[in-house]
Amino acid sequence: MDKIVNNKIKLEFMSIGENVALARITVAALVSQLEITLNDLEEIKVAVSEAVSNAIIHGYQNKPDGIVTLSASLKGHTLILEIEDHGVGIADIQKAMEPAFSTDPERTGLGFVFMQSFMDEVKVFSQVGSGTKVILTKQISADLKNIAVS
């Protein structure tokens, strides 16, 4: 059986580290409405974690009173995730997305690399002083022999 799901959710949460897990689990629960492989599920969880941590760590510079918005929609087999913050924004998006580039010397600079390798499309919109929106898209097609248990 090849399930088709049409669903849409929106979650707003404070910019605290604990909410990275909240966002990851929420998206995992949503995509588990589809027949999804463990591999796809894990990849989506990593991509969500990277985008949400960026909003908290970079966007809001670890200040806890920012609001992060996560919208997720499933249309057939297409997953679209939007992660938005109203933080500091990104001056040079192209540079920020380069492998190993980070404005924080303690970090690896691989967040966008993971998002790009695990999702089919990564779009970034940002303005300095107003914030950042990351749109992640992935086609989910089930391998019926290898379905994650939900």
| Six token digits for residue 121 | 């499309």
Is 102 a residue that touches ligand ADP (CB under 6 A)? Answer: yes
For residue 41, give Cα distances in angstroms to 24, 66, 91, 96, 145: 10, 28, 32, 26, 15
Which member of 90, 122, 136, 140 binds ligand ADP (CB under 6 A)?
90
The Cα–Cα gap between 67 and 84 comes to 9
- Exposure letters 99-112 (e unless 16+ CB within 10 A, then b): eebeeeeeeebebb
The binding track of 47-76 with respect to ligand ADP, each residue x by CB under 6 A or -, is ---x---xx--xx-----------------
Shortest Å distance, C-beta 12 to ligand ADP: 16
Residue 102, contacted partner among Mg ion, ligand ADP, none, CB below 5-8 A by kind: ligand ADP
**Annotated catalytic sites, by residue?**
50, 54, 107
Q: Name the residue number minimizing CB distance to ligand ADP.
A: 111
